[in-house]
Structure formats: structure tokens, C-alpha cells
Amino acid sequence: MSEKETTKAEVETTEAAATETTTVETPKEEKVNPEQFLADFNWHNYEEGIDPVDEKQLEEFEKLVSENFVDTLDDEVVEGTVIHLSDRDAIIDINAKSEGVISLNEFRYNPNLKVGDKVEVLIDVREDATGQLILSHRKARVIKAWDRVNNAHDTGEIVNGFVKCRTKGGMIVDVFGIEAFLPGSQIDVKPIRDYDQYVNKTMEFKVVKINHEFKNIVVSHKALIEADIEEQKKEIISQLEKGQVLEGIVKNITSYGVFIDLGGVDGLVHITDLSWSRINHPNEIVELDQKLNVVILDFDEDKSRIQLGLKQLSKHPWEALGEDVKIGDKVKGKVVVIADYGAFVEVEEGVEGLVHVSEMSWSTHLRSANDFVKVGDEIDAVILTLDREDRKMSLGIKQLTPDPWTDITTKYPVGSKHSGIVRNFTNFGVFVELEEGIDGLIYISDLSWTKKIKHPSEFTNVGDTLDVVVLELDVEGRKLSLGHKQTTDNPWDKYETEFVLGSTHTAEIGEIVDKGATIDFNEDIVAFVPQRHLEKEDGTKLKKGESAEFKIIEFNKEFKRVVASHTAIFKEEEMANVKAAVKKQEAQAAEAKPTLGDANEALQALKDKLDGKK
């Protein structure tokens, strides 16, 4: 029998039953079950017109169908029941005319899905190519999720969410199937350092913001615990007192101090209140999440800013300093700070002494403390002063070695020769170190016999080694006067006889200056030729680079001054001729025995000639 024939027979049977029912008197009409009606109805007979159906019965059937079956044309979310699970799909009964199909991919969030579970679905396709009803659980979840999210936002309801992954600035959370953003600042009341610890965890949240235009949702876990913390905070603040000791947890570490969580209330331990010793950074003392006791030092009126202390819980190191420590004792310490004027040395935890730069070396020529020590150096020192009341101590390093000036007269007597290192310049001389603690000064005039030096840097450099002679020694004033030129003979003693007055030398004009010119007789002797002494016999003047003979007309060894003249060379010959003529005339006059008047006239003529008159 075909499907149509079967259906028709069912319809005939149903109609006969209906007819029979109408002829039998019953106390109450039995309500037809639509599912049973569909199962028993002969559609073939109905379609062929063999079994006509009463209009009233059809109306009743349609009413029953509308009351018991889902209208697949409505775009509404309905609840269905899982009736079968395959490898790829789930068969869902939504109480419609046929079952629907949903891909298992839409249930990835629920791997424990099983037959009999109730799920929300939305009719996606009423009938596909195979006549199958296609449902969507994902779309239904989204529609319902937005309803739930909006309701949670309006009512403040706490919702569960699954942390899917990290993102820039926070986390992505699945709430009712919708992705929401959890900012990093809303994860907890304390800063979060490891975001990954929350991934793949289910947590409680509050919906704090919804942007319907861009479909954005912001959730917060911090908001759930803030209310409890606020109550704790009020209770803690109301009980705060200066000097009170509380337990806290290191919440954050900065370069200037440490923030301590006191149980909802934060306080700051400044870096100077962490330890009696000097420290460069708080992480030398504490670490994150460390539990420790702190004391309340101060707070403002509303107690919103709390100043805490850690070092105050222990006795001040100066109070614990042994009574046997006294002036003159040798101590070991660590350089903790270097200043322009010296270095601070920690001899015990929290107990520091100052080594002034003048106490670092016996040298009277002071240098920077960095030239002697570096931060972190372990050094030995001697206690020079000790004031327990003011908690001050001064130390010395140079006292560990003998004073080099003790036997200075033996090591450096006047006239002794030594070698030293150039340490510093001044405008008037050079400081030379003979040994650690023994410095001497070479005045600029004692650097060279021959060179005219305007500044010591023209003659030597810092770090050079110079040979010196001790010129003066002041033991009481701790001063040494040295000389460098005295290590060699004075060449001017030799030049004094070589360049005697009136001696003649050949040289070349070096430089022309305003008042004359200079000539180099050798590497030491630079003579000056005045302008009027540059004139040649023909009346012209010598030029730069021109060679000629010069006569020494001035030689001063003390001031290293030499003056020469070219003009004097030929002027001297002229003067010699004049003097010879004078003598001849005088001789002739004596033989002729002239009168007194004639003699006077002749002498006057000679005198005029000598004076250059015609």
C-alpha cells in the first residue's frame, strides 16, 4: 500500500470513528489529541474526497495545533529538548511539526551536552533542500544573552563569565555567549602582574557598561569586592592611631617607597623609613606580596594618606652601638655615599661616619673624594670624633699611614734633586707631587732659564714627570718650593761672555713689529732691533728675511734682554774716521802753534762734524 493510500485509509477510519462518535450519546465530549489525530488521519482519502471532514472538526483541529505546536514562522527564541546526538549534529524537539537540527559546533562551550538537556534555539531555516528544519542555538543564545546582559546591568545582578584570553589592556570574557571586555584595572583591587593566571577560568562579574551602538560590554570583577573592602576600609580607618603596628602586604614598589595594603587601606613607607641604612632602591629590602609589620607614623585628617614606617620597629643603630667604641679605634666600613667634600662610610648597619676629603690623604693639595674611593668600596679608617648624642662620627684614612712630613728634612733637604709628577696648574706655577702627601710648587719663573712662559701649560702637561730641585722648605707650614730650571746650568752665564757689548754677529731678520724687529741668534737668544737701528748705510731699512751684521748694544742677563743694532756697524766706521781726523788736526795744530782763536775755530769745526753738522 502506498503512503497516500495509507493516509487515506487513516482518514476514512478517523471519519468513521468521528461519525460513530456523534451517534453515541456520551456524558462528556472527549478532547482529541492532535498528535494522535495526525497519526490516525487518512490523508489519502481526505485528498481524494472519499472521506469528507466536518468543518467544525477541522476548526477544532487547527485550534489544537496552534495551542500545542510552535509556529515555525515566528522569529522567536523557543526552548527545545535534545532527543538525539550524532558525531556532527544534535536533533532538537521544539514541539513543532518536525524536529530540528543544530551543528555540534554551536555547543563547543558545553562539551557535556547530552540527550534530554533543555536548550534555547532560534529557527534559522524553516526548510532546507532536504525539507529539514534548521535551528540555531548560537543565535538564540545571542538574543537571550543581550536580554540577560541588559537585565544584569539594570538590576546589578552578578553574572558568571568565562575568561577566554588576554587582550591589550585587559581580558576577553564570555558572558552568556557574548564577548565582553574586562579592563586590567577592573580585575582586582590590587595591581595585577600576571594576567595569564586568569585565562580559562570562570569568575563572577558585574556588568558596568553597555554600548548598544557598537555592541560593547564592559564587566568588572573588582566592583564585586569593592563593597566589602569599603566596609573593611571604614573599620580600619576608624581605628587608626599613630604608633599602631599593623600587618600589611607589599602591594607596589616604586623608586621612592613601598605601598602597603593594610586590608583595603593603602599606606606608604617612604624609602628613608625602610631601613636605618642607606639604600638605593626599596627592592633591596622588600619584595612584592611580602607580608610584614609596619608602624603608623602619621596620616591626614580624613586618613586617606597614611605614612608608615618599617625601620622604626627596630632599635636605632646608634643606641645599639657598643660603649667600647671610642676615638682612635680602627674600624672597617663600606662607602655608601660620595659628596664633593668627602665620603660617608657605614661602619655598622645604620651607623655612618664622614671621611672629609682632607682626611683622605696627607697631601695639602686637595682633590675630589672620587680620586680616593668609590661607592661600595670596603675601607679601613680611624675614628677621629664621636658624638653619640648628635649621632655623628668623623673618620680618617690618612691616619693609617705615617705622616710623610715627619722626616721631611731628611728626605728632601734644600738643594736635593728629585723627580715628581705634575698634578695641577695655577696661573703662577705648577704643583708637583714628589710622593703621596708631599707636594711642591714650581713658580713659573723657575721653569726655564731662557723661555718666556705666560702659562705653565705652554711648558708641560698634567701627568708629566719633571726633574726638580728643592729651593725652600717650610716644615711648619708644610710647604716646598721647587725649581726645574735649576736642574741644568744657566746658559745665560755663557751667553754673557759670547754676546758681550759691542760684539758683532750675523743674523737674519725674523719678525717685523711696530717698534722694530726680532732676530734669532740661537734657540735661546732672541734679540730686539729698534726701528732706528734697522737703517742701512744707503738709508733704506732691513726687511724680513734679510741677513745682516748686528752689534750688541745691550745685554741684561737678569731680565734676559738683548738689544742689537745694524746701523751701529757703519756709524762706528764713520765715527772712527772722524776721530782720526780730529787727532790729525790736533797734531797739525800743535806743530803750527796756532793762535788761541784759530785753535778754538778748528776745534769747533771738528765738534760740529762729530755732531753730524755740515
pLDDT tens-digit profile of 10-51?
A: 434 444 443 444 344 444 445 556 556 656 666 555 565 555
> For residue 385, what pLDDT is reported?
92
Where would I find the H helices in 211-322? 222-238, 317-320
- Say which DSSP state 51 is in: S
- Mean pLDDT rounded to a whole number for the chain: 79
- Residues 6 or more apart whose CB falls under 8 angstroms from that of 587 comprise none
Higher confidence at residue 7 or residue 226? 226
pTM above 0.85, yes or no: no
Nearest residue to 162 (alpha-carbon basis) of 114, 224, 108, 209? 108
In this predicted model, what pLDDT tens digit does every residue of 527-565 receive, in sequence order?
899 988 888 888 888 888 888 889 888 888 777 788 999
pLDDT at 238: 76
The three-class DSSP label of residue 35 is helix
In sequence order, what are the residues at sequence separation of 6 or more whose Cβ sits closer than 8 angstroms to the Cβ of residue 215?
A: none
Kindly state the percentage of the chain with pLDDT values over 90: 14
C-alpha cell read off for 274: 625602610
What lies within 8 Å, CB to CB, of 549 at 6+ separation is: 504, 505, 506, 566, 569
Cell numbers found for residue 57: 472538526
pLDDT average, residue stretch 280-285: 90
Handedness of CA 43, 47, 52, 55 (dihedral sign): positive
Higher-pLDDT residue of 9, 96: 96
